[in-house]
């Protein structure tokens, strides 16, 4: 004769509740006939069960069952959810870079095209002063070699002399080089930005809808299980 174990108590409890299989129930009844200590435990459990049944039934003040959120149970995500989330993030990143490029690159091109024009205007002014200074000594010797008693020129001759000097003066003028304006076209076409925007919004909206649908079904399933219990 041995002392009843915790396993024996579980078998007796299941036997009293009618949840023990027929073969195990038969073996337990045979043991009860030949084991007085096991019969004592069986009698105590029967008495405790009767006392508990006599107590008034009271409703619990609240549901003590853990919710899926409290238990840390999350609904399974669909297989396409990570791909849609990655596509939305990548499209948003490309849209940001394209928008930044369209704002900064045309401004940098305008600054670079304006710099040579400013340098050309500065060199042109210095060139006129140098040419004028160099031209003064060259024109002085003919005036010194002229005879002292030169005859005054006729009005027609002075006009012709001025006309002959005009082409030489015009050829010595220095004009700043013409700088072509940079094209104002955007590096990234507008249609590409529109496609990236639509792709980012569509992928994000689809991923959000799938997540909401899975959460709703999971919540309904857990609620039905709690109701059945």
Judge whether 68 lies within some domain.
Answer: no
For the stretch 151-204, pLDDT in tens is 444 445 455 555 554 544 444 445 555 544 444 567 788 888 899 899 989 988
Q: CB-based contacts of 107: which residues, under 8 Å, 6+ apart? A: none
Nearest CA-CA partner of 9 in 55, 61, 45: 45
Please compute, for residue 150, the number of CA atoms within 13 A of its CA located in the half-sphere on the CB side: 10
Same domain assignment for residues 123 and 49: no
The 10s digit of each residue's pLDDT in 31-43 is 989 889 989 999 9
Q: Which of 105, 96, 101 is nearest to 197 (CA)?
A: 96
What residues contact 86, with CB distance under 8 A and at least 6 apart?
Answer: none
Q: Where do the DSSP E strands lie in the chain?
A: none
When pLDDT is cut at 50, 70 and 90, the band that residue 138 belongs to is very low
Asked if residue 61 belongs to a domain, the reply is no
Q: How many domains does the chain have?
A: 2
- Alpha-carbon distance of 206 to 224, in angstroms, equals 27
Handedness of CA 125, 130, 131, 135 (dihedral sign): positive
* Band of residue 229 on the pLDDT scale cut at 50, 70, 90: low
Q: Are residues 84 and 38 in the same domain?
A: no
What per-residue confidence (pLDDT) applies to 46?
92
When mean pLDDT is compared across 20-24, 89-93, 130-134, the lowest value belongs to 130-134
- Domain that includes residue 27, residue range: 1-53
Q: Kindly list the distances between the CA atom of residue 4 and the CA atoms of 28, 35, 195, in Å, as whole numbers in the listed order.
A: 12, 9, 76
Q: How many CA atoms lie within 13 A of 80 on its CB side?
A: 11
**Confidence at 150, pLDDT banded by 50, 70, 90:** very low
Residue 6 placed within a domain: yes
């Amino acid at each position: 004769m041995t002392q009843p174990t915790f396993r024996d108590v579980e078998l007796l409890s299941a036997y009293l509740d009618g949840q023990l299989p027929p073969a195990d129930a038969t073996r337990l009844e045979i043991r009860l006939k030949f084991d007085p200590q096991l019969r004592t435990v069986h009698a105590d459990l029967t008495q405790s069960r009767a006392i508990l049944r006599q107590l008034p039934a009271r409703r619990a003040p609240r549901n003590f069952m853990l919710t899926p959120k409290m238990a840390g149970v999350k609904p399974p995500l669909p297989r396409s959810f990570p791909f849609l989330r990655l596509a939305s993030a990548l499209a948003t990143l490309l849209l940001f870079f394209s928008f930044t490029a369209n704002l900064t690159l045309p401004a940098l091109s305008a600054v670079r095209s304006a710099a040579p024009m400013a340098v050309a205007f500065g060199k042109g002014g210095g060139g006129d002063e140098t040419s004028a200074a160099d031209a003064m000594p060259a024109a002085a010797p003919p005036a010194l070699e002229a005879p002292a008693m030169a005859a005054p020129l006729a009005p027609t001759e002075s006009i012709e002399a001025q006309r002959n000097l005009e082409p030489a003066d015009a050829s010595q003028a220095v004009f700043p080089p013409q700088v072509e304006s940079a094209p104002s076209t955007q590096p990234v076409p507008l249609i590409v930005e529109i496609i990236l925007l639509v792709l980012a919004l569509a992928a994000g909206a689809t991923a959000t809808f799938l997540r909401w649908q899975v959460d709703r079904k999971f919540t309904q399933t857990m609620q039905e299980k709690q109701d059945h219990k």
